[in-house]
Chain A
Amino acid sequence: MMKTTKILGSVMIVAVLAMGAMTGCGDNSQKTVSTDGSTSMEKVIGYLSEAYMENHSDVKVTYNPTGSGAGIQAVQEGRCDIGLASRNLKDDEKADLNETVVAIDGIAVIVNSENPVADLTVEQIAKVYTGEITNWQEVGGEDAPIVCIGREAASGTRDGFESITGTADKCKYAQELTSTGDVVQTVSSNPNAIGYASLASVSDKVQTISVEGVMPTEETILSGNYKIQRNFILVTKKDKELTGSAKDFFDFCMSSEADEYITKAGAVPVAK
């Protein structure tokens, strides 16, 4: 009795595990488009691929969140169809790769709505976050300590903010929060706080400050006047044209149809 039940039990467990393992593989006849790269682009590519797959049920768009550098390398080595990068290509990479800007990521700097400070330069923002400036008085505000709110280490927004302000690995945060909503909430409840968030996620509860006199809007981001922004690019190989569903998906990303989804994902679509 005991023995049979044990065997039965183990068979069941194995069956459950095997089922779990198999869910990863789909129908092999399906066409796949593989993308690989920037973790910051997760939302953009997520919205785009979901929208695309809704109309093309026979195509599966995969996304491997490895980081911009790894994504570019993957295209070079032919391990994926489209690479995703949240920075422009370097000159040596441009030798055999094409870059196409699909969207622009604007990062808004926010303060509490009671804060009289309305404008900072990129340099001032960098100094605030690295701990060189610790009092609002030094940037034209009241005599109060500055509380720097940021995102967790692996966040794409944090990566973008730190790379644009040149503060990578040097920021002294008071809080590292795991979502944009938490950042907005915390800044809205602390009069001394400063934070950053994707432009699309900022609400009226907080005050968005202008950077070097320019408020972040779709227009100023597109024109490049707003400084804290970066490009989201699609990377493809020069000597190998995209074909089939990969080309179709690429064209969809670049079409005006995609604008809606890019906006939903919190980025600014580029002018077509």
Chain B
Amino acid sequence: MEKLKKLSGLLEKSMNVIFTVCGFLAVAFVLVITIFLVVSGTPAIGEIGLTNFLFGTKWASTAATPSYGILPFILTSVYGTFGAILIGVPLGILCAVFLAKIVGKRTSSLVSGAVSLMSGIPSVVYGLVGMIIIVPAVREFFGLPDGANLFSAILVLAIMILPSVISVSETAIRAVPKEYEEASLALGATKTETIFKVTLPAAKSGILASVVLGIGRAIGEAMAVMMVAGNVANMPGLFKSVRFLTTAVASEMSYSSGLQRQALFSVALVLFVFILGINLVLNLIVKKNRK
């Protein structure tokens, strides 16, 4: 008996150690990645010059006299993300309202299932569908010579952020106390008025969190965007072929060398800083929510 107790105590202890190690491993990975990016990303910025790098409008990494300005990438990522939010968020919120307030349980769970399935689709599939359906459709619809442009990328991104926007907003909307809505309805407001004037404002911060989550997803997407955006380092325009921060790294990294390679690490560092900022905002919102 004594022996058994000792053995189980030992097991307890060793499991404890394993749990702790796994816990710290996650922290270690984040730290290693951060340090790696900062260490490998800063030399090129130093060599090119911070203003030349961030605000230079010309990227020609393999030219005889190379220039490394990433403003086109930054603006493209910002515009692309903004456009995706502009289309995806209203759609997502209305869908969340539909799920939480309009339909019965059975239909709701069916649609929810489809939404979560959507978030599981690999991004390369989104890209493929975009490349074969959206790009030619955009070309024909707007009468353009070519359909691979910022607009197509925005459409694909808008669809890709839908799952996170819908599921987080839905949870927020469901969390609104029933009494609020009942009071509104009792005062003679219609269902639509109640949804837009009572439920959604009450679920505001949860919905905001879903938007920030969507931004994070959109700005970090590489594969799908690479297949529909055209990837030319132009300053962004709605119907111009553009290159995002993510695709800039992905498309050149495999063959790059020297300063070009270092500059790509710097691009990744800039992207990392963006995502860090977005996560910080998300944390703030979630914290405020809890209060």
B63 at the binding interface (Cβ < 8 Å) = yes
A255 at the binding interface (Cβ < 8 Å) = no
A-chain residues with CB within 8 Å of residue B28 when the two chains form the complex = 9, 13
Indicate if the CB atoms of B63 and A39 lie closer than 8 Å: no
Q: Among A1, A147, A189, which residue has its beta carbon within 8 angstroms of that of B145?
A: A147
Complex CA–CA separation, A44 to B6 (angstroms): 63
B-chain residues with CB within 8 Å of residue A175 when the two chains form the complex = 146, 148, 230-232, 241
B147 at the binding interface (Cβ < 8 Å) = yes
A-chain residues with CB within 8 Å of residue B260 when the two chains form the complex = 154
Complex CA–CA separation, A6 to B136 (angstroms): 56
Complex CA–CA separation, A147 to B148 (angstroms): 11
Indicate if the CB atoms of B24 and A176 lie closer than 8 Å: no
Indicate if the CB atoms of A9 and B255 lie closer than 8 Å: no
B30 at the binding interface (Cβ < 8 Å) = no
Indicate if the CB atoms of A154 and B146 lie closer than 8 Å: no
A9-B21, A169-B63 given; A155·B255 CB < 8 A:
yes
Complex CA–CA separation, A39 to B136 (angstroms): 33
B-facing residues in A149-205 (Cβ within 8 Å): 152-156, 168-169, 173-178, 182, 185-186, 189-190, 192-193
A53 at the binding interface (Cβ < 8 Å) = no
- A interface size (C-beta, 8 A): 36
Complex CA–CA separation, A8 to B24 (angstroms): 10
A224 at the binding interface (Cβ < 8 Å) = no
Interface of B is mostly: helix
- B interface size (C-beta, 8 A): 37
Q: Among B32, B147, B226, which residue has its beta carbon within 8 angstroms of that of A190?
A: B147
Complex CA–CA separation, A192 to B140 (angstroms): 12
Complex CA–CA separation, A90 to B237 (angstroms): 44
A5-B21, A145-B145 given; A173·B255 CB < 8 A:
no
A-chain residues with CB within 8 Å of residue B241 when the two chains form the complex = 173-176
B131 at the binding interface (Cβ < 8 Å) = yes
B8 at the binding interface (Cβ < 8 Å) = no
Indicate if the CB atoms of B24 and A173 lie closer than 8 Å: no
B119-148: CB near A (< 8 Å → 1, else 0) gives 000000000000110011001000001111
Indicate if the CB atoms of B254 and A8 lie closer than 8 Å: no
A-B contact pairs, 22 of them (CB 8 A): A5-B16, A6-B24, A9-B20, A39-B255, A65-B257, A67-B257, A154-B255, A168-B64, A169-B60, A169-B63, A173-B232, A174-B146, A174-B230, A175-B146, A175-B230, A176-B232, A178-B251, A182-B131, A186-B131, A189-B132, A190-B139, A192-B145
If A155-B255, A176-B243, A190-B136 are given as contacts, then 5 extra A-B residue pairs at C-beta distance below 8 Å, sorted by A number, are: A4-B17, A153-B61, A156-B255, A186-B131, A189-B136
